[in-house]
Amino acid sequence: MIAESKFNQTLSKYKLLTIAIPTYNRNEILYRNLEELILQMSDWVELLIVDNASDIPVEYSLKKLISGNINRNIRIVRNKENIGGNANVLRCIEEANSDYIWILGDDDYPLADALEKIYLEIKNREAIWVSFYSPDDCQPSRSKNFHLKTLSDFLSNLESISELVFCSINIYSLKYIRHGLEFGYTYQDKMAPHLISMISGIEKYGEKGSYVISKEVLLNSIANNQDYSTSWPLYKAYIGIMSIYKIPFTHPNSMQLNRLIRGARSRWLSNKDMLLGFSNLNLRYGAIDSFKISSDFFISLIAIDRYKFLWTFPIYIIGIIFGKKILPLYKLFKYYYIKYNSKQ
């Protein structure tokens, strides 16, 4: 193992919930987040921060905050070297010391009553998986709560895989998600190791239990990146997630996941977003290298879009080949469109 553990406080006992935050070089954002989060913590919660070898160790940046909260259960683990974001998420699962785990993004700011909402769902230790709601553009609306008995029922009552991929709105039973860690590490390239680990763990451990879909909101997210000049890494995530259909889950779960991936396609990758994203790829790498980089996306798009592929494929090709011309035209159009509407 290439990580070393550092315990800032020695209050660690077995807890009901671990709030696990994987982080890398976002020390100031993390500090602001923890200032509010720590105020909610009580003796049934531990806070675990897994520092993926940040240039300035998180321990140093948080020293003042932690020293002022010596009665809180706070633990920092620092990797000796950067092991990648996906592996760092799985390190959170390895290090947690509780019944449940909440893998929280360092830039996802919990609401003041977030822990209270979580506690109400897990206090009896019957839940296997709790999915809360996030009012982001990429998430379908949710108007009611569900308490279900099987994983298949749980998946069938969701509309988009984005509801499962966004780890900051999901609470996992630790014993189940740990049972699937092998699959999580094996399929890190799918960009959702927590989701893969959880489903694999349930299939290995047995799926009967309580699955909760809640309309309650846990956090204020800073998602929905619309900057096409910088958001290609998001497309890498989409390429990985859209290829989850290749993983050999059991048949009912696999079919439901394919449906959920299709449900996310239009929200994540509108045809306009796809055209602009791949135009930017062309601008950065040229047409030939862009084809090489995005070949996995091309294959996944056929499987996910099915008959719609007949018109999304030309959009993909146009973006890759003519991207250098499309982006300036789009920016010019957007400029005059905003200017015209501002005068109305």
Q: Which residues of 77-107 are buried (b: 16+ CB within 10 A; e: fewer)?
A: bbbeebbebbbbbbbbbebbebbbbbbbbbb
pLDDT over threshold 50, residue 336? yes
Which amino acid belongs to residue 297?
F
Residues 6+ apart with CB under 8 A from 39: none
pTM confidence score: 0.85
Model confidence at 234, pLDDT cuts 50, 70, 90, reads low
Residues of the domain holding 159: 3-220
Question: CB count, 10 Å around CB of 174?
Answer: 18
Determine what percent of the chain is predicted with pLDDT higher than 70: 89
Whether residue 153 is found in the same domain as residue 54: yes
Whether residue 202 is found in the same domain as residue 151: yes
Q: Can you tell me the distance from the alpha carbon of 157 to that of 301, in angstroms, rounded to the nearest whole number?
A: 24
Give the domain CATH number at 56. 3.90.550.10
**For residue range 42-74, what is the model confidence (pLDDT) as tens digits?**
999 999 999 999 999 999 999 999 888 876 899
Q: Is residue 186 part of a domain?
A: yes
Q: What is the pLDDT of residue 167?
A: 95
Whether residue 198 is found in the same domain as residue 282: no
Whether residue 243 is found in the same domain as residue 183: no
Q: Can you tell me the distance from the alpha carbon of 344 to that of 340, in angstroms, rounded to the nearest whole number?
A: 7
Q: Can you tell me the distance from the alpha carbon of 339 to that of 344, in angstroms, rounded to the nearest whole number?
A: 9
The residue from 200, 220, 240 where one domain ends is: 220
Higher pLDDT, 324 or 250: 250
Q: Is residue 225 part of a domain?
A: no
Q: Is residue 226 part of a domain?
A: no
Whether residue 31 is found in the same domain as residue 77: yes
**What mean pLDDT do residues 119-129 have?**
96
Whether residue 119 is found in the same domain as residue 154: yes
Residues 6+ apart with CB under 8 A from 316: 274, 278, 294, 297, 298, 301
Question: Which tokens in the block code for residue 295?
Answer: 């070949």
Whether residue 70 is found in the same domain as residue 181: yes
Q: Is residue 242 part of a domain?
A: yes
What is residue 242's three-state secondary structure? Answer: helix
Beta bridge partners of 126: none
The residue from 189, 220, 251 where one domain ends is: 220
Q: What is the pLDDT of residue 71?
A: 67
Whether residue 196 is found in the same domain as residue 245: no
Nearest to 45 by CA among 123, 136, 133: 123
**What mean pLDDT do residues 124-141 have?**
92
Q: What is the pLDDT of residue 10?
A: 41
**What mean pLDDT do residues 29-38 have?**
95
pLDDT over threshold 60, residue 8? no
Q: What is the pLDDT of residue 228?
A: 43
Q: What is the pLDDT of residue 149?
A: 95
The residue from 168, 200, 220 where one domain ends is: 220
**For residue range 11-24, what is the model confidence (pLDDT) as tens digits?**
456 799 999 999 99
* Mean of per-residue pLDDT scores for the chain: 87
Whether residue 257 is found in the same domain as residue 213: no
Q: Is residue 134 part of a domain?
A: yes
Q: What is the pLDDT of residue 75?
A: 95
Q: What is the pLDDT of residue 69?
A: 81
Q: Is residue 227 part of a domain?
A: no
Whether residue 292 is found in the same domain as residue 240: yes
Whether residue 59 is found in the same domain as residue 133: yes
Q: Can you tell me the distance from the alpha carbon of 172 to that of 17, in angstroms, rounded to the nearest whole number?
A: 9
Instruction: Provide the domain count of the chain.
Output: 2
**For residue range 275-304, what is the model confidence (pLDDT) as tens digits?**
887 888 888 889 999 888 888 777 777 878
Q: Is residue 142 part of a domain?
A: yes
Whether residue 251 is found in the same domain as residue 325: yes
Q: What is the pLDDT of residue 342?
A: 67
